[in-house]
């Protein structure tokens, strides 16, 4: 197990270094932020002074060397726009994004797994076909269009829920959260549903496919032959065996929810990291963009590592096969 952990840690570090090179080169090689940040009527001397102050007068490889040296000390740069550490600005928005992502994942799991299992147990029933049809819609419709449709129905036509913003927040474990106040919760429902729809459809299809496969196994047939109740067969023999791939997908999807909540945050004006990224791209605030992408990479790599470790604990054959490879 220790050899497996060391190997996975090495792979994770290699992935982070490779992404640092790609992210820095991709962001710093495009455009000139001085053109956006400085007064259009500024003199050439002021342009040169601003370029030197931001460190953009150095060759790209020197800028990357400075970035890498500071990154190893926990400093991912200072925002060109706000004049504050980029990580500090992002971390201020992180609780809002994490709250949205966790709520969306909770909805995906709590609704997706039961519906998927139901559709797997009764694939030819009207309910089973309806569930699968709904999951296709969740996959097919663009995320931003789903969000606008939710706003149109529940905010504009029915007037049940607010269309945007985060609402009233309160402190919980040192962070500002909105789900503990009614006003905040009402603002959270629509963006959480919007972010959850795609993942929910994915979990439904995965749970259905695995349920269909597990139902054909001899131990399930034997359990039914022993006269066990359908509830016990599902809860003990089917759910337990379909959870390995589902746990893997849930872990991976949490990372993608945090990373790709940009569309939902933009549609619902949710003050999270995604909206900050869009604003930073518009202003060419390179340090914030790079810091956001690197933190996202770090979160996804860490989640993948944790999922792999959990997966190897659930199924030791995975650990052994990788070590042999």
What's the rounded mean pLDDT across residues 227-232?
Answer: 79
Q: What is the residue-wise DSSP string for 147-187?
A: HHHHIIIIIIIS--S-SSS----EEETTEEESTTSHHHHHH
Can you give the pLDDT at residue 325? 53
The answer on pLDDT for 217 being more than 70 is: yes
Find, among 145, 123, 142, 121, the residue nearest to 133 by Cα.
123
Q: What is the mean pLDDT of the chain?
A: 83
- Nearest-angstrom CA–CA distance, 304 and 312: 12
Q: Which residue has the higher pLDDT, 231 or 158?
A: 158
- Contacts of residue 47, defined as CB under 8 A and 6 or more positions apart, other chains included, come to 34, 38
The answer on pLDDT for 211 being more than 90 is: no
- Nearest-angstrom CA–CA distance, 243 and 287: 40
Give 171's strand partners. Answer: 176
The answer on pLDDT for 112 being more than 80 is: yes
What's the rounded mean pLDDT across residues 308-312?
Answer: 74
Can you give the pLDDT at residue 321? 61
The answer on pLDDT for 245 being more than 90 is: no
Can you give the pLDDT at residue 192? 92
Can you give the pLDDT at residue 320? 60
- Nearest-angstrom CA–CA distance, 198 and 112: 10
Q: Which residue has the higher pLDDT, 19 or 275?
A: 19
Question: Is residue 146 packed enough to be buried (19+ CB in 10 Å), middle (13-18) or exposed (0-12)?
Answer: buried
User: Domains in the chain, start-ordered, CATH in brackets?
Assistant: 93-282 (1.10.3720.10)
The string over 149-165, giving b where at least 16 C-beta atoms fall within 10 Å of a residue's C-beta and e elsewhere, is ebbeebbeeeeebbbbe
Bridge-based pairing of strands 170-172 and 175-177 is antiparallel
| Contact predicate 259/253, CB 8 Å | no
Can you give the pLDDT at residue 292? 87
How many other C-beta atoms lie within 10 A of the C-beta of residue 313? 11
- Nearest-angstrom CA–CA distance, 144 and 132: 22
The answer on pLDDT for 119 being more than 60 is: yes
pLDDT in tens, 151-203: 999 999 998 999 888 888 888 877 778 888 888 889 999 999 999 998 888 88
Can you give the pLDDT at residue 164? 83
Least confident range from 48-52, 118-122, 257-261: namely: 257-261
What's the rounded mean pLDDT across residues 118-124?
Answer: 86
Can you give the pLDDT at residue 152? 92
């Amino acid at each position: 197990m220790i050899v497996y952990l060391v190997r996975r840690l090495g792979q994770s570090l290699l992935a982070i270094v490779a992404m640092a090179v790609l992210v820095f080169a991709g962001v710093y090689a495009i455009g000139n932020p001085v053109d956006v940040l400085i007064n259009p009527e500024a003199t050439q001397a002021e342009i040169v002074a601003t370029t030197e102050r931001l460190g953009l007068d150095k060759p790209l490889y020197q800028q990357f060397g400075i970035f890498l040296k500071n990154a190893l000390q926990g400093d991912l740069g200072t925002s060109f726009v706000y004049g504050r550490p980029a990580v500090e600005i992002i971390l201020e928005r992180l609780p809002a994004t994490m709250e949205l992502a966790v709520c969306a994942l909770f909805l995906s799991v709590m609704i997706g797994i039961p519906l998927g299992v139901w559709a797997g147990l009764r694939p030819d029933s009207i309910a089973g076909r309806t569930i699968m049809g709904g999951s296709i819609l969740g996959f097919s419709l663009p995320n931003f269009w789903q969000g606008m449709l939710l706003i149109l129905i529940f905010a504009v036509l029915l007037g049940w829920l607010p269309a945007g913003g985060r609402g009233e927040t309160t402190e919980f474990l040192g962070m500002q959260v909105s789900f503990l106040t009614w006003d905040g919760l009402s603002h959270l429902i629509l963006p959480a549903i919007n972010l959850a729809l795609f993942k929910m459809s994915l979990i439904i299809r995965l749970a259905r496919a695995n349920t269909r496969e597990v139902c054909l196994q001899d131990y399930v047939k034997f359990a039914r032959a022993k006269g066990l109740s359908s509830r016990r067969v599902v809860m003990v023999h089917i759910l337990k065996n379909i959870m390995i791939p589902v746990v893997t997908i849930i872990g991976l999807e949490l990372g993608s929810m945090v990373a790709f909540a940009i569309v939902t945050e933009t549609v619902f004006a949710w003050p999270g990291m995604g909206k900050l990224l869009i604003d930073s791209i518009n202003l060419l605030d390179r340090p914030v963009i790079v810091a956001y992408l690197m933190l996202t990479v770090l979160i996804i790599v860490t989640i993948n590592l944790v999922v792999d470790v959990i997966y190897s604990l659930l199924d030791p054959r995975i650990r052994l096969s990788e070590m042999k490879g």
